[in-house]
Amino acid sequence: MTNPFDDESERFVVLVNAEGQYSLWPARLDIPGGWRAEGPEQSRQECLDLIEGAWSDMRPAGLVRAMEGEAG
């Protein structure tokens, strides 16, 4: 059985949660609670490229806010 996250023939979506974290997700699977699709179904590589371009700060949004509050 092939892992659907590694299957190059699958269609994927990019998911984003409230903390601004990104995830690659097989389009045929239900989107888990707390996540939303960001854009249309695409190839695995297209989704990975989108994630790489969009997710430059790996810290959760809550941590960023807390750190900015400490600095200010």
pLDDT (tens, 9 = 90+) of the chain, 72 residues, equals: 678 889 999 999 999 999 999 999 999 999 999 999 999 999 999 999 999 999 888 888 888 888 888 766
Hunting for tokens 């179904």 — which residue is that? Answer: 41
Q: Cβ atoms within 10 A of the Cβ of 5, count?
A: 13
Nearest to 7 by CA among 22, 38, 28: 28
> Domains of the chain, with CATH numbers?
13-58 (3.90.820.10)
* Helix, strand, or coil (residue 6): coil
Tokens of 55: 């997710």
Give the E-state strand segments of the chain in sequence order: 12-17, 22-26, 35-37
Q: Is the pTM of this model over 0.75?
A: yes
